[in-house]
């Protein structure tokens, strides 16, 4: 029986994939095999030795101590693309809301005295809510992953000239892009040219605060900035100053802070990017399936801290080993298995930065003392044996 700690509301359609004969689901953290999480902050949480995996139903993993998990051999999964359409649709709304003062106009019209001549008031008052069209304007998109690519593409459909910047753009990512999306080789190309800037990068030490006094100064006057990604990408104090001076005509953020909330020309949304039933279902299904596949089959797909490795199940048992990406690990492990007379039928091994995951599919059964010896060997963090037949 596997124990899964579910720390937020995860859509029932995803939890329904967990066979209750094999999985116990609870919200307590006593010796879980895995955690399913959406927004709970796990950064300061102590993890028990039983914990093998954490799946985040969402793209960002800044509520999870990923480096600490790696050192403990805890595989962290996310659900790339599962909520991309929801965020893309909110981005379309954001482009329109930052251009046309729809919110100001709506608030004003709802406040009109009901006994006034509403039609006359509307026609005489509407002039102050004028805003520019998107058509023909330049949009810069930072980050061309699953979400950024959809935003870039739909903006071209709206007639915008789109520039994309992503130092980590993959070949698949490039294929997803509409051919008219231009490559901005440097961030400055976007800062200097674009009327609208949309942020779709994760929060990392590299990206934190990259919208700051210096980058804001490099932008066009009257730029409109959309942040549906993470609050800490933007230095809110510098943003407040840029709003005050009029450098930024409008800042729409899904991550309001006290520094920003009082400012004029801020549109603050309560983190609704992925809040659609469709996206919550997609994320839940993907996160749950990733956990099942890892716990039952040893497969890693969509992990942010370990490489993708698939257990082909060619042998009787698969010895799944999380280890550091250092010399001699495979020789050491295969030596220990061969010494027991175990034939390695298939070996899959890949690394991601300092970490590696290797699956040794063997004929026969690995004796428990050997598993324990391997678990204690230098460079090895965790060993998990999966019976294939």
Contact call for residue 59 and ligand MLT (CB under 6 A): yes
Separation CA 383–CA 364 (nearest Å): 17
In whole angstroms, how close is the CB of 225 to ligand MLT at the nearest point? 18
- Positions marked catalytic: 230, 259, 271
Contact call for residue 88 and ligand MLT (CB under 6 A): no
Q: How many CB atoms lie within 10 A of CB 103?
A: 13
Contact call for residue 148 and ligand MLT (CB under 6 A): no
Residue given tokens 């805003």 in the structure block: 131
Contact call for residue 60 and ligand MLT (CB under 6 A): yes
Q: Which is nearer to ligand MLT, 243 or 287 (CB)?
A: 287
Q: Which is nearer to ligand MLT, 229 or 358 (CB)?
A: 229
Contact call for residue 38 and ligand MLT (CB under 6 A): yes
Residue given tokens 């596949």 in the structure block: 293
Stretch that binds ligand MLT, among 54-62, 177-185, 203-211, 301-309 (CB under 6 A): 54-62
Contact call for residue 247 and ligand MLT (CB under 6 A): no
The SS3 assignment for 355 reads strand
Give me 290's structure tokens.
């990733």
Separation CA 9–CA 209 (nearest Å): 30
The SS3 assignment for 320 reads strand
Separation CA 345–CA 314 (nearest Å): 6
Number of H helices, E strands in the chain: 14, 16
In whole angstroms, how close is the CB of 231 to ligand MLT at the nearest point? 11
In whole angstroms, how close is the CB of 6 to ligand MLT at the nearest point? 14
Q: Which is nearer to ligand MLT, 273 or 315 (CB)?
A: 273
Q: Which is nearer to ligand MLT, 283 or 322 (CB)?
A: 283
Contact call for residue 83 and ligand MLT (CB under 6 A): yes
Sites for ligand MLT among residues 261-290 (CB under 6 A): 271, 273-274
Interface residue with ligand MLT, options 12, 20, 26, 39 (CB under 6 A): 39
In whole angstroms, how close is the CB of 19 to ligand MLT at the nearest point? 26
Stretch that binds ligand MLT, among 58-66, 100-108, 256-264, 341-349 (CB under 6 A): 58-66
In whole angstroms, how close is the CB of 365 to ligand MLT at the nearest point? 41
In whole angstroms, how close is the CB of 273 to ligand MLT at the nearest point? 6
Residue given tokens 């953020």 in the structure block: 253
Separation CA 289–CA 82 (nearest Å): 12
Stretch that binds ligand MLT, among 53-61, 125-133, 178-186, 299-307 (CB under 6 A): 53-61
Q: Which is nearer to ligand MLT, 27 or 133 (CB)?
A: 27
Q: How many CB atoms lie within 10 A of CB 331?
A: 9
Interface residue with ligand MLT, options 32, 58, 65, 315 (CB under 6 A): 58
In whole angstroms, how close is the CB of 360 to ligand MLT at the nearest point? 34
The residues, any chain, with a CB within 8 Å of residue 381's CB and separated by 6 or more, are 71, 72, 73, 322, 323, 324
Q: How many CB atoms lie within 10 A of CB 289?
A: 18
The residues, any chain, with a CB within 8 Å of residue 239's CB and separated by 6 or more, are 211, 216, 225, 248, 251, 259, 260, 263
Q: Which is nearer to ligand MLT, 38 or 247 (CB)?
A: 38
Separation CA 76–CA 34 (nearest Å): 10
Size of the site for ligand MLT (CB under 6 A): 9
CB 238 within 8 A of CB 216: yes
Contact call for residue 298 and ligand MLT (CB under 6 A): no
The alpha-carbon radius of gyration of the chain (Å, integer) is 25
Contact call for residue 35 and ligand MLT (CB under 6 A): no
The residues, any chain, with a CB within 8 Å of residue 45's CB and separated by 6 or more, are 29, 65
The SS3 assignment for 193 reads helix
The binding site for ligand MLT (CB under 6 A) comprises 38-39, 58-60, 83, 271, 273-274
């Amino acid at each position: 029986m596997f124990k899964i700690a579910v720390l937020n509301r995860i859509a029932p359609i995803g939890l329904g994939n967990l066979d209750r004969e094999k999985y116990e689901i609870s919200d307590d953290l006593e010796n879980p095999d895995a955690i399913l999480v959406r927004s709970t902050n796990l950064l300061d949480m102590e993890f028990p030795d039983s914990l093998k995996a954490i799946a985040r139903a969402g793209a960002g993993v800044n509520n999870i101590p990923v480096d600490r998990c790696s050192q403990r051999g805890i595989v962290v999964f996310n659900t790339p693309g599962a909520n991309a359409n929801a965020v893309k649709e909110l981005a379309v709304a954001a482009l329109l809301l930052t251009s046309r003062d729809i919110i100001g106009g709506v608030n004003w019209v709802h406040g009109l005295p009901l006994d006034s001549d509403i039609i006359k008031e509307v026609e005489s008052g509407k002039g102050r809510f004028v805003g520019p069209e998107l058509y023909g304007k330049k949009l810069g998109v930072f980050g061309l992953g699953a979400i950024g690519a959809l935003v870039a593409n739909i903006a071209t459909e709206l007639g915008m000239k789109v520039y994309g910047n992503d130092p980590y753009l993959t070949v698949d990512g490039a294929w997803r892009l509409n051919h008219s999306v231009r490559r901005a080789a440097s961030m400055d190309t976007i800062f200097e040219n674009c009327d609208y800037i949309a942020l779709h990068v994760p929060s990392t030490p590299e990206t934190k605060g990259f919208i700051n006094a210096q980058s804001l100064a490099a932008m066009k006057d009257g730029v409109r900035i959309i942040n549906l990604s993470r609050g800490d990408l933007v230095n809110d104090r510098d943003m407040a100053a840029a709003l005050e001076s009029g450098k930024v005509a409008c800042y729409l953020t899904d991550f309001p802070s006290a520094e920003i909330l009082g400012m004029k020309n801020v549109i603050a949304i309560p983190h609704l990017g992925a809040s659609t039933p469709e996206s919550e279902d997609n994320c839940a299904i993907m996160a749950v399936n990733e956990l099942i596949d890892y716990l039952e089959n040893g497969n890693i797909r969509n992990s942010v801290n370990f490489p993708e490795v698939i257990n082909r199940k060619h042998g009787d048992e698969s010895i799944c080993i999380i280890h550091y990406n250092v010399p001699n690990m495979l020789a050491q492990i295969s030596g220990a298995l061969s010494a027991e007379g175990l034939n390695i039928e298939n070996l899959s091994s890949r690394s991601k930065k300092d970490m590696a995951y290797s699956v040794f599919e063997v004929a026969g059964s690995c004796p428990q003392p050997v598993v324990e010896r391997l678990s204690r060997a230098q460079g090895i963090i965790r060993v998990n044996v999966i019976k294939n037949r």
